[in-house]
């Protein structure tokens, strides 16, 4: 018995001790589980729809089923996977640890968010089996008012998931304000915390607008309220305004935590202080604030006024500034660092390459004149997959590998991690770089069939999806294997300086034996404290 030290995993036993736990670490692990399942589900839909696109003819699915597939892929990936991915799983696990706190400010609210998430997820799953949705994950009116598929259960699911996200945001803001350990000043916080803070701001400010939008859509379907229905005198473009007032900032809910993870990875594996701590920290806040000014670039071809389109196009460029500040600072951090090439660092590199491509193409799409041509083509699809998957998912997986030893107290196989990374990286670029070309040539998104001339590129993209799938399946295997047979992890396998590495692996139930007192910055590697 004395072999295994007491930790949050073995402190109490039984299913009930998990279902009713208030420990932020256990809640984070449960989130991780549901998020992994959602990722698998969304990935399955992606593989299915890529398979259908292998050639322009009907292969496995009818046109209607294909519409349902891409809708479910989008809805599951956005609402069930990527919005909660990093904040709810890694964030929940890490935030109190990195602040030197015993728990988040409201542990019961935290557990409630988890159950609200599961409850909302059940509605989404119900929707899949009761006719699915074929509107696209954006639920644009008027089609979403008329379609016979089960829009209400899916939107209700997204509505409920929104509240889970809001409550997590409330919890995180209060935790960061009030639960910091003695000496943990704002500028001694790890950058992960800064990015979670910026994320929480968006979650709290933008999500309620999504809630009201989806509620109005539900009222539209149940009692024909008419606000968004042109046949009743309403305005469908208004739906897009309301939807994107949330959903564009939501894009930053997805990418900001990823940027936080990346800042942790680059410092830990270069053993160097971050270049320009304050700039990186404030650029997170800047992104959060600017994110509310740009939603109109989704409406460039939707009939919004030309003046609005021009203003939104200009405002959109602003986001590039803080994003580029971060990218340059990460690169500058690497300069003359003593770099260890470990699995998390590989994902850092993947992020850096893929996110930069995603960002550059984002600027192209933000340009009004060019967007009119590229709007609703595969170019857009490729762009946001480079940001969302190449950015967020790579950072999420990198973070998962980085904190895995802390979460489970086990190491994984670096060799297999490298192999899986290579598959994912090659597969990803096969799938989505091809789609840039397809889009530039004029292939519209969400189409079931296409001209024969696009077939080779579509086929190549589909092959890529299989390569990527192999990578993810490998990952699932070696991570499972690590849980069962992995080497015991030391407390601080990477030699990082943030607080979560100063406690045991896995941590105690209340994180630290004694509340730590912080006397230095999070990345002061072997240097005198910088002023």
Partner 1 sequence: MHDHPSSHHMIVPVKTYVAVFVSLLVLTFVTVFVTRFDFGAFNLIVALAIALLKAGLVVMIFMGLKWNKSFDRLAFFGSLVFLFIFFSLVFVDIPLRGYRGVEESQQINIKSPVKPFPKGTMPNAAH
Partner 2 sequence: MSMTLKKPHHVAHHFASEAQEFESARLGMWIFLVQELLFFGALFVVYAIFRWWHPETFMEAHQYLSWKWGAFNTVVLIASSFTMVMAVRSAQVNQRKSLISYLSLTLIFAGVFLGVKYIEYMEKIHHGFLPGSFFSAQGVSEYLHLFFGIYFTMTGLHGLHILVGMALIVWLLIRSFRGEFHSEYYTPLEMVGLYWHFVDLVWIFLFPLLYLIG
Q: How far is the CB of 262 from partner 1 (least distance, A)?
A: 27
First to last CA, the chain: 47
Q: List the one residue from 312, 355, 402, 428 that touches partner 1 (CB under 8 A).
A: 312
Stretch that binds partner 1, among 145-153, 303-311, 421-429, 438-446 (CB under 8 A): 303-311
C-alpha closest to that of 64 among 446, 460, 432: 446
Give the torsion sign (CA, 174, 176, 177, 183).
positive
Residue 54 makes contact with partner 2 by CB under 8 A: no
Q: Pick from 4, 122, 232, 480: which binds partner 1 (CB under 8 A)?
A: 232
Per CB under 8 A, contacts with partner 1 among 192-231 are 205, 209, 230-231
| 231 versus 331: smaller Cβ distance to partner 1 | 231
The binder of 237, among partner 1, partner 2, none, by C-beta within 5 to 8 A per type, is partner 1
What long-range pairs does 65-72 form, CB within 8 A, spacing at least 24?
66/448, 67/134, 67/136, 67/446, 67/448, 68/132, 68/133, 68/134, 68/149, 69/45, 70/45, 70/136, 70/446, 71/132, 71/133, 71/134, 71/135, 71/136, 71/137, 72/42, 72/45, 72/128, 72/132, 72/133
Return the DSSP state at 180.
P
Helix, strand, coil shares, percent, the chain, to 5: 70, 0, 30
Smallest separation, CB 515 to partner 1 (Å): 12
Residues shown for the chain: 531
Residue 212 interacting with partner 2 (CB under 8 A)? yes
CA gap 115, 121 in Å, rounded? 10
Contacts with partner 2, 157-196, as mask; x by CB under 8 A: ---------x--xxx-xx--xxx-----------------
Q: Which of 36, 112, 204, 437 binds partner 2 (CB under 8 A)?
A: 204
Q: Counting contacts by CB under 8 A, is residue 335 touching partner 1?
A: no
**Is 206 one of the binding residues for partner 2 (CB under 8 A)?**
yes
- For the packed helices 236-270 and 343-366, what is the interaxial angle rounded to 10 degrees? 150
Q: Which stretch binds partner 2 (CB under 8 A): 4-12, 132-140, 199-207, 406-414?
A: 199-207
511, β-bridge pairs: 508
Which residue in 98, 36, 93 sits closest to 408, CA to CA?
93
Tell me: does residue 301 bind partner 1 (CB under 8 A).
no
Q: Is 484 in the site for partner 2 (CB under 8 A)?
A: no
3-state secondary structure of 75: helix
**With the C-alpha atoms ordered 205, 206, 212, 218, is the resulting torsion angle positive or negative?**
negative
- Considering CB distances under 5 to 8 angstroms, the limit depending on partner class, which of partner 2, partner 1, none binds residue 518? none
In the complex, which residues of this chain contact partner 2 (CB under 8 A)? 101-103, 105-107, 109, 166, 169-171, 173-174, 177-179, 204-209, 211-213, 215-216, 219-220, 223-227, 232-235, 238, 242, 245, 510, 515
In the complex, which residues of this chain contact partner 1 (CB under 8 A)? 177, 205, 209, 230-237, 241, 245, 292-293, 295-296, 299, 302-308, 311-312
């Amino acid at each position: 018995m004395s072999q295994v030290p007491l930790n949050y995993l073995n402190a109490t036993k039984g299913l009930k001790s998990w279902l009713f736990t208030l420990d932020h670490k256990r809640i984070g692990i449960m989130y991780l589980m549901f998020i992994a399942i959602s990722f698998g589900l969304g990935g399955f839909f992606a593989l299915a729809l890529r398979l259908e696109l292998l050639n322009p003819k009907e292969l496995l699915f009818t046109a209607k089923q294909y519409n349902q597939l891409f809708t479910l892929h989008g809805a599951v990936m956005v609402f069930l996977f990527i919005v909660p991915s990093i904040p709810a799983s890694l964030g929940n696990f890490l935030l109190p640890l990195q602040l030197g706190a015993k728990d988040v400010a409201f542990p019961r609210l935290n557990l409630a968010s988890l159950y609200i998430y599961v409850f909302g997820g059940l509605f989404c799953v119900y929707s899949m089996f009761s006719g699915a949705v074929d509107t696209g994950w954006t639920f644009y009116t008027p089609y979403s008012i008329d379609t016979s598929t089960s829009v209400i259960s899916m939107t209700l699911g997204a509505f409920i998931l929104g509240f889970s996200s809001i409550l997590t945001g409330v919890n995180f803001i209060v935790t960061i304000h009030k639960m910091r350990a003695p000496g943990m000043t704002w500028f001694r916080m790890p950058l992960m915390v800064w990015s979670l803070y910026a994320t929480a701001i968006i979650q709290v400010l933008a999500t309620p607008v999504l809630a009201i939008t989806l509620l109005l859509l539900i009222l539209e379907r149940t009692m024909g309220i008419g606000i968004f229905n042109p046949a009743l005198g309403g305005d469908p473009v208004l739906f897009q305004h309301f939807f994107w007032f949330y959903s564009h900032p939501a894009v930053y809910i997805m990418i900001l935590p990823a940027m936080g993870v990346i800042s942790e990875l680059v410092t830990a594996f270069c053993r160097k202080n971050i270049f320009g701590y304050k700039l990186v920290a404030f650029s997170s806040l800047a992104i959060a604030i600017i994110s509310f000014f740009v939603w109109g670039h989704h409406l460039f071809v939707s009939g919004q006024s030309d003046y609005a389109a021009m203003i939104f196009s200009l405002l959109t460029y602003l986001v590039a500034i803080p994003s580029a500040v971060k990218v340059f600072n990460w690169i500058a951090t690497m300069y003359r660092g003593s770099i260890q090439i470990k699995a998390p660092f590989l994902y850092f590199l993947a992020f850096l390459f893929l996110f930069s491509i995603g960002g550059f193409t984002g600027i192209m799409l933000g340009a009004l004149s060019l967007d009119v041509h590229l709007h609703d083509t595969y170019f857009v699809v490729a762009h946001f997959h480079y940001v969302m998957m190449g950015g967020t998912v790579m950072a999420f997986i990198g973070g998962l590998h980085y904190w895995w030893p802390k979460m489970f107290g086990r190491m994984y196989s670096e060799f297999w991690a490298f192999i899986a990374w290579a598959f994912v990286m090659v597969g990803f670029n096969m799938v989505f770089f091809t789609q840039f070309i397809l889009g530039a040539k004029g292939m519209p998104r969400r189409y079931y069939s296409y001209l024969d001339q696009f077939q080779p590129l579509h086929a190549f993209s589909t092959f890529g999806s299989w390569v990527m799938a192999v990578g993810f399946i490998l990952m699932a295997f070696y991570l499972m294997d690590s849980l069962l047979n992995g080497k015991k992890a030391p407390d601080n396998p990477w030699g990082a300086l943030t607080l979560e590495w100063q406690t045991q692996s896995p941590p105690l139930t209340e994180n630290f034996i004694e509340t730590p007192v912080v006397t230095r910055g999070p990345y002061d590697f072997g240097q005198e404290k910088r002023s």
